[in-house]
């Protein structure tokens, strides 16, 4: 009898396991299918000329053959936050097979978004399996719904539809994968999982520096989920490689990036208040992601005083988040983890440390996972409570209906937002209607110029530049007027700006170029020297000034101009130009040295050719 019962139990266990496996396979099949169904329109989208012209269309690095030496050269370039060799490596292969056709770059983005959502599913499932819940819940079901909410959120449209933001997709995939294998390592004490986790973390760091928050998240999971005590030094051994790699990449960024002027002029108190307001803004966008509110170029202002209404509301919202996380600490740990996840991953882009753009949809990409967990368990817990009071209500059916409606609503909003990204005109016109930020106005003007709508571009600036009194509008208008051949008007705008800002770099540099082209070298040198005083590490004015010296036969002064710049910052182009001058005067040894140094930071075919010529000439002596 016992033997028959054992056989029956084994069959039940086997059939239950088989059913779960089938469900997981179904979930895994659904995820890429849903991603393709939602984002297939982006396959027909063109470039939007928002950094994709810099990183793809005009990037010689990705246009080289994907040989081992060329790929390794991508990992040698150190340009701070733009140091994303994994992204460039992928694009090198895409360019090799598909050229500059935007279709192939969109395919890569959709593919990695699918992989990312799959990683979210597995990570969430394993995390939920490690936690205690006061109610019965299927980890696979919960993980799938959370992944679905993450998948369909409209704030992710920028990350998927904008090919340049492949870095966030790569970073997100590695972040969740590293977290998944770390959890498996803690559960099974298998060193293989640990090593795979470190590998994903390293790849993630080489995709985007924001992944450096992972060690803090892993420590939090150790404390909250695995009850690991860090009182003993041995407990730190498991997390040390993560802390070491994360700190190394962050230090690399700090030492190789020139901090912006704004970061020195803004007080910490102002940054702190502004960062709290940004957290509040992101929470609003996560819960109310209407396309009319979403914009690729927000124009946030710094908050100066604690009494500012926005600052007060932000503090209240943050206090509510903290209270909620404490309230759920014992009852439902996953909610505390969700709040911590959201705040931690928003920290690098909250502007406590100065970044170029204060606010962007893509900045909340990783953080939105915390939102997805929070929303799932709020709805699930509410349905459970209602079913207890009213047994006639089926909580499972209620949850499924709620999640389905929410996913469909989010998908519809995503599709609506997606239309904006179909081409450059749609994107920049949408941004200008919502934001009025100077960077967006400049982008729209450049877009009109690119599409031969020159008068519209000029009128954009003329309507705004005198009224706002912003030097960037003067610069944009002057630059545009010079481009379309209206040099006298451009010159007038420059002089008008110099009355207000006599030491402005852009205006002085623009006039320096203008007078150098007119062969009025004395005037040109005056403006170029002023520009260099304003920005001593700017490449442009040094190059123009050196060219003037060369035209005047002042070779020694041209060399001194480049040497002064290289001493401050060794630009590859400056080294290359200096090498060319050395070749002209027959100093091939110094020329070879310059070209070699230039190639260490920029694998440019023209520099390689110059190096070969210098070596050939040196060999004939």
pTM: predicted TM-score of the whole model, two decimal places: 0.85
Q: Kindly tell me if the per-residue pLDDT of 12 is higher than 70.
A: no
List, for residues 75-114, the tens digit of each pLDDT value. Answer: 875 554 567 889 999 999 999 999 999 999 999 999 999 9
List, for residues 570-615, the tens digit of each pLDDT value. Answer: 899 999 999 999 999 999 999 999 999 998 877 778 898 999 999 9
Instruction: Answer whether 151's CB lies under 8 Å from 94's CB.
Output: no
Question: What is the structure's pLDDT at 77?
Answer: 56
109-118: b or e for each residue (b if 16 or more CB lie within 10 Å)? bbebbbbbbb
Q: DSSP for 508-554?
A: HHHHHHHHHHTT-HHHHHHHHHHHHHH-TT-HHHHHHHHHHHHHTT-
Q: What are the structure tokens assigned to 526, written together?
A: 């005056």
Q: Under 8 Å CB-to-CB from 499, ≥6 apart: which residues? A: none
Helices 572-584, 588-601: axis angle to 10 degrees equals 160
How far, in Å, CA of 460 to CA of 433, rounded? Answer: 12
Question: What is the structure's pLDDT at 265?
Answer: 55
How far, in Å, CA of 427 to CA of 570, rounded? Answer: 36
Percent of the chain with pLDDT over 90: 52
List, for residues 547-578, the tens digit of each pLDDT value. Answer: 999 999 999 999 999 999 999 888 999 999 99
Question: What is the structure's pLDDT at 4?
Answer: 45
Compute the Cα dihedral for 208, 210, 212, 218 and give only its sign: negative
Q: Kindly tell me if the per-residue pLDDT of 389 is higher than 90.
A: no
CA atoms in the 13 A half-sphere facing the CB of 289: 29
CA atoms in the 13 A half-sphere facing the CB of 264: 4
Q: Kindly tell me if the per-residue pLDDT of 213 is higher than 60.
A: yes
Percent of the chain with pLDDT over 70: 89
Instruction: Answer whether 475's CB lies under 8 Å from 506's CB.
Output: yes
List, for residues 297-352, the tens digit of each pLDDT value. Answer: 676 666 666 667 777 888 888 888 888 778 777 778 899 999 999 999 988 887 66
How far, in Å, CA of 379 to CA of 359, rounded? Answer: 29
Angstrom CA distances, 301 to 356, 406, 482, 541, 584, stand at 13, 32, 31, 32, 52
pLDDT class of 261 with cuts at 50, 70, 90: very low
pLDDT class of 7 with cuts at 50, 70, 90: very low
Instruction: Answer whether 472's CB lies under 8 Å from 442's CB.
Output: yes
């Amino acid at each position: 009898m016992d033997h028959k019962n054992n056989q029956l139990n084994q069959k039940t266990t086997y059939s239950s396991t088989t059913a779960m496996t089938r469900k997981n396979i179904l979930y895994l099949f659904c995820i890429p299918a849903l991603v393709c169904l939602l984002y297939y329109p982006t396959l027909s989208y063109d470039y939007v000329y928002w950094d994709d012209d810099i990183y793809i269309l005009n990037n010689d690095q990705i246009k080289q053959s994907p040989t081992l030496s060329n790929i390794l050269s991508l990992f040698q370039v150190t340009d701070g936050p733009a140091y994303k060799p994994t992204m460039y490596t992928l694009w090198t292969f895409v360019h090799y097979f598909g050229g500059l056709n935007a279709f192939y770059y969109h395919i890569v983005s959709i593919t990695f978004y699918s992989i990312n959502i799959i990683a979210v599913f597995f990570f969430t499932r394993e995390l939920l399996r490690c936690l205690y819940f006061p109610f019965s819940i299927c980890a696979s079901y919960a993980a799938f719904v959370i992944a679905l909410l993450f998948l369909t959120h409209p704030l992710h449209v920028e990350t998927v539809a904008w090919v340049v933001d492949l870095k966030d997709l790569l970073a997100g995939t590695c972040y969740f994968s590293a977290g998944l294998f770390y959890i498996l390592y803690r559960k099974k004490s298998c060193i293989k999982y640990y090593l795979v986790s470190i590998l994903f973390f390293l790849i993630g760091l080489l995709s985007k520096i924001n992944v450096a928050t992972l060690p803090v998240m892993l420590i939090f999971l150790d404390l909250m989920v695995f009850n690991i005590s860090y009182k003993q030094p041995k407990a730190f051994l498991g997390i040390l490689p993560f802390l070491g790699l994360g700190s190394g990449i962050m230090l690399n960024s700090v030492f190789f990036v020139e901090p912006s002027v704004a970061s020195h002029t803004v007080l910490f108190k102002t940054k702190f208040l502004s960062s709290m307001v940004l957290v509040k803004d992101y929470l609003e966008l996560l819960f109310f992601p209407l396309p009319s509110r979403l914009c690729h170029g927000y124009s946030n202002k710094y908050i100066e005083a604690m009494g500012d209404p926005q600052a007060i509301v932000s503090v209240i919202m943050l206090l509510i988040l903290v209270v909620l996380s404490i309230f759920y600490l014992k009852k439902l740990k996953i909610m505390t983890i969700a709040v911590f996840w959201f705040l931690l991953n928003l920290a690098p882009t909250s502007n406590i440390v100065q970044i170029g753009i204060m606010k962007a949809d893509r900045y909340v990409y990783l953080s939105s996972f915390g939102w997805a967990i929070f929303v799932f368990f709020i709805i699930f817990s509410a349905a459970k409570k209602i079913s207890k009071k009213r047994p006639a209500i089926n909580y499972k059916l209620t949850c499924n209906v709620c999640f389905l409606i929410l996913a469909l609503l989010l998908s519809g909003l995503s599709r609506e937002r997606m239309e904006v990204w179909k081409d450059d005109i749609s994107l920049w016109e949408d941004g200008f209607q919502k934001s009025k930020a100077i960077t967006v106005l400049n982008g729209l003007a450049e877009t009109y110029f690119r599409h031969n709508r020159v008068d519209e571009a000029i009128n954009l600036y003329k309507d705004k530049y005198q009224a706002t009194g912003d030097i960037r509008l003067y610069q944009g208008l002057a630059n545009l007027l010079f481009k379309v051949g209206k040099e006298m008007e451009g010159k007038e705008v420059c002089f008008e700006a110099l009355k207000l800002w006599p030491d402005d770099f852009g205006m002085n540099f623009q006039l320096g170029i203008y007078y150098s082209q007119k062969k009025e070298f004395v005037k040109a040198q005056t403006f170029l020297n002023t520009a260099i005083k304003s920005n001593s590490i700017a490449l442009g004015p040094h190059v123009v000034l050196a060219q003037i010296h060369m035209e005047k036969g002042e070779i020694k002064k041209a060399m001194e101009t480049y040497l002064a710049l290289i001493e401050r910052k060794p630009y590859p182009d400056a080294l290359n130009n200096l090498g060319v001058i050395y070749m002209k005067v027959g100093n091939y040894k110094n020329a070879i040295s310059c070209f070699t140094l230039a190639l260490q930071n920029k694998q440019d075919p023209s520099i390689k050719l110059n190096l070969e010529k210098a070596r050939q000439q040196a060999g004939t002596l």
